[in-house]
Structure formats: structure tokens, C-alpha cells
Chain A
Amino acid sequence: MDRVPVLKIGDLLLVSIQVDMQDQTALALQEDLAERIVATGCHGVIIDITALDIVDSFVGRMLSSIASISRVLDAETVVVGMRPAVAITLVELGLSLDGIRTALNVERGIELLAQAREPETPDDLGIDLDLDRFGPATS
């Protein structure tokens, strides 16, 4: 089974889904991401689905779950790069992806995350939170 790589860039985790995922791969990605959010202390997750030519209800549910799980772990998720044909199909399918933020491309996604964080995070409190001290977060 393929695993989708999760990359850390600054304060962000970037996932670019490049393969036609089987359901197990999607579930594994969900678990990997939760672990990486906790391990890295990142506050933003960008999921790039530019390469996906379909999103069915299973992948849709995975995206919703990832968004909810990251929120519990204090990270915002943005899904970027959804193709027009995929969006039209999702609307017809009846999948609304509630609670998921979206952006046209990775760049806009990064902007959106920066914007979402800034008002509530005073720039530098000089405190380095070590999440490991509190034990792994459960979701």
C-alpha cells in the first residue's frame, strides 16, 4: 500500500495527494497527519488535491475528518486545488465538505492560514511549547 508523504514547511504541514488512493491509504493519511501535527507542533495543514481527478464520498469524509481532528489539535486545515469538474461533481453528489476551508492554490492556502492565525497569536511570547510534555493528544 502506498503512503502519502507529509512534508513540513516552516509552521505548516503540506500534503500533496498524487495517487489514486485506495481507502486504506486515505485512512493511513488521516492517522499520519494527526501524529505529525502533534510531533511537529504545526498550526496549519495544507492538503493539495490538484492531482485528484475525482473526490468521492470516502475521500470527502477523510478530508472532513482531517479538518476536525486538526482543529482538536489546534491546527487549521485548508484544502487547495480542487478541480472544477470535481467541485461540480461533489455538489451533485450532495457532499458539502462542511467545516473545511478551501483555497484555489497552495499560495492562497498559505495566505489564508497566515490570516487565520495572526489575530489570535501575538507574534513572539518567547515560550517554546513542548507538546511531548503533555503526552500525545488523543482524538
Chain B
Amino acid sequence: MTTDVGLGEPQLVTIAADEDVVRVRQLVRTVAVAAKLSLVDQTKLVTAASELARNTLVYGGGGGAEVTVVDSGRRKGIRIVFADDGPGIADLDLALTDGYTTGGGLGLGLSGARRLVDEFDIDTAAGRGTRITVTKWAR
């Protein structure tokens, strides 16, 4: 995974308000179309990005999303890193369980987003913020 080469400059979106979630969705869609993801894969990635951007805003107290086109040598993909300096997640297994929520949502954000992407990596601890990296490859 670390051997993947980034193509072009990463594009950054600050997530501080409601409308920034919309901006993340639009940026991810544009990049996904340019990277020639299939329509279904575009839709899955944009939906996952929407869930994670909202989590960054609601649970992380705001942060940022960084979108990069990556190349594994065999195929192209899109990598998005969501980072915040919020309270972090104390019990990761619980947070990744379908239906678990602390914010009054459906509890599908994290677990659902994970099912929509090809690679999902989460780095968090209580009091240390959260950093989620997702990748979707073109088929």
C-alpha cells in the first residue's frame, strides 16, 4: 500500500461547516470521474466520502479531507484522508459495528463507508484525534 505512487498534487478541503461536506462530495466526484471509475464505483466512493466528511465535522469537531489520485503500477485509484483533532474513538470495534451511534444517526457512517471502499485504514485513540484513509481502485 505504501508503494503506491501519488499522481498530481493532493487536493485539500477544510471541513468546518455543513456546506464543506457538499464541497468534499463535489471534489471527490470530479476526481473520480477524471480517474475513470465506473459509475457505480464513483457513487460508492462519493457516498463513503460524504459519510466520513460528516463524521469529521460532527464527531471530530471539524478537520480536513485530502484527495489524491494514486497509481499502484497496475491500476489507478483515489485515496482520501480524513483527519481531525477531535476526541478520537476510544472503542474502535464498537464504532465499526453496524447500528452503533453516539450522535443520533443511523450508526452506518463508519461501518457502511468501510464496505463501500477497497481499502480502509483508521488511526485513532481517545484524545488523539482520528485519521481515516480510504482508497478505491478503478477496475
- Which residues of A does B touch, CB under 8 Å? 20-24, 53-58, 60-61, 83-86, 88-89, 92-95
Fill in one digit per residue for B54-77: 1 if any A CB lies within 8 Å of its CB, else 0: 100000000000000000000000
Residues of B contacting A86 in the complex (Cβ-Cβ under 8 angstroms): 43
A20-B25, A20-B26, A93-B116 given; 19 more Cβ-contact pairs under 8 Å = A20-B22, A22-B18, A23-B18, A23-B21, A23-B54, A24-B18, A53-B29, A56-B50, A57-B51, A58-B105, A60-B106, A83-B43, A88-B40, A88-B44, A89-B47, A92-B115, A92-B116, A95-B106, A95-B112
Q: 24 pairs across A/B with beta carbons < 8 Å?
A: A20-B25, A22-B19, A22-B21, A23-B18, A24-B18, A53-B29, A54-B43, A54-B47, A56-B51, A56-B54, A57-B51, A57-B108, A57-B112, A58-B54, A61-B105, A84-B40, A85-B39, A86-B43, A88-B44, A89-B44, A89-B116, A92-B44, A94-B115, A95-B112
Residues of B106-139 contacting chain A, CB below 8 A: 106, 108-109, 111-113, 115-116
Residues of A contacting B19 in the complex (Cβ-Cβ under 8 angstroms): 22
- Alpha-carbon distance A42/B25, docked complex (angstroms): 34
**Interchain CB contact under 8 A, B50 and A54:** yes
- Alpha-carbon distance A58/B111, docked complex (angstroms): 14
Please judge, given known A-B contacts A22-B22, A57-B105, whether A93 and B112 are in contact too, CB under 8 Å: yes
- Alpha-carbon distance A61/B112, docked complex (angstroms): 14
What's the dominant secondary structure at chain B's contact region? helix
- Alpha-carbon distance A55/B116, docked complex (angstroms): 13
What's the dominant secondary structure at chain A's contact region? helix
Q: Which residue of B lies closest to A95 (CB)?
A: B108
Interface residue total, chain B, C-beta cutoff 8 A: 27
B4 interface residue, CB < 8 Å from A? no
- Which residues of B does A touch, CB under 8 Å? 18-19, 21-22, 25-26, 29, 39-40, 42-44, 46-47, 50-51, 54, 98, 105-106, 108-109, 111-113, 115-116
Shortest distance between the CB of B110 and any CB in chain A (Å): 10
Q: Which residue of A lies closest to B108 (CB)?
A: A57
Shortest distance between the CB of A97 and any CB in chain B (Å): 11
Shortest distance between the CB of B28 and any CB in chain A (Å): 10
Shortest distance between the CB of A61 and any CB in chain B (Å): 6
**Interchain CB contact under 8 A, A55 and B54:** no
- Alpha-carbon distance A136/B118, docked complex (angstroms): 49
Among B21, B29, B46, B106, the residue within 8 A (CB) of A61 is B106
